[in-house]
Every structure is written in C-alpha cells, then in structure tokens.
C-alpha cells in the first residue's frame, strides 16, 4: 500500500483498478514464464526417481527402516492425509510421463 498523501495513494484512491492492473506482470511475460515452468516440470518416460528401486525390496537390509516404512504405510494413521483427505503424492518414488505432481527425479537438467 502506498503511504497516505503520496501521488501513488492519490492515484489509487481515484482509480484503484488502473493502479492495481499496473502491478500485474504483462500477459506475454506471464505466458512465457508459465510455459517454461510447465516444460521444466514435465517428467520424461525414462526418468529415474529418488527412492525408486529396480531391484525390488533390496533398498536396505536394516530391519529398523523396514519396520518404520511398514508402520507409516498404514492408511488408518491419524493425520495421514490431513483434513481434506487428499494424499500427499509429491514424494512418491515414481511417476508417469508428463506433468503429474509426483516423483522427484534423481537429477535435474536445465
């Protein structure tokens, strides 16, 4: 908010829509940014993800993390998905091709 008495404040008081619209990024810049973000967020068909194991269940031989994984996989746990009952999928160890909002690649090439 501009300070009271400043020229920006007077303009805001006279024509608030024009003053507000001046703060928004131009359409072309916004479209360029959104396109770049979408392209860089897509997953390739041959991508490997953090936590993805090709060997099956050979990711560890330690029993303590295996028991914690089994315990935390219980869907009846309180606060498992929050009040909206929507699972958190961003950290899933795999993803399909495209823009899926799940899976973290082992590396990122930009």
Q: Is 10 left (phi over 0), alpha (psi -120 to 50) or beta?
A: alpha
pLDDT at 51: 67
Secondary structure of the chain in HEC code, one letter for each residue: CCCCCCHHHHHHHHCHHHHHHCCCCCHHHHHHHHHHHHHHHCECCCCCECCCCCCCCCCCCCHHHHHHHHHHCCCCCCCCCCCCCCCCCCCCCCCCCECCCCCCECCCCC
pLDDT at 2: 83
pLDDT at 57: 60
The structural domains of the chain, with segments of one domain joined by +, span 1-41, 48-110
pLDDT at 32: 96
pLDDT at 74: 79
Low-confidence ranges of the chain (pLDDT < 70): 51-59, 80-82, 108-110
State pTM to two decimals.
Answer: 0.46
pLDDT at 31: 96
């Amino acid at each position: 908010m501009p300070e009271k008495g400043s020229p920006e404040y007077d303009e805001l008081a006279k024509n608030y829509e024009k003053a507000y619209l001046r703060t928004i990024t131009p359409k072309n810049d916004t479209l360029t940014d959104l396109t770049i973000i979408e392209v860089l967020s897509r997953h390739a068909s041959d991508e490997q993800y953090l936590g993805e194991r090709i060997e099956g269940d050979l990711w560890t031989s330690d029993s303590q993390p295996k028991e914690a994984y089994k315990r935390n996989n219980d869907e009846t746990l309180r606060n498992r998905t929050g009040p909206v009952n929507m699972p958190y999928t961003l950290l899933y160890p795999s993803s399909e091709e495209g823009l899926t909002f799940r899976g973290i690649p082992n590396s990122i090439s930009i």
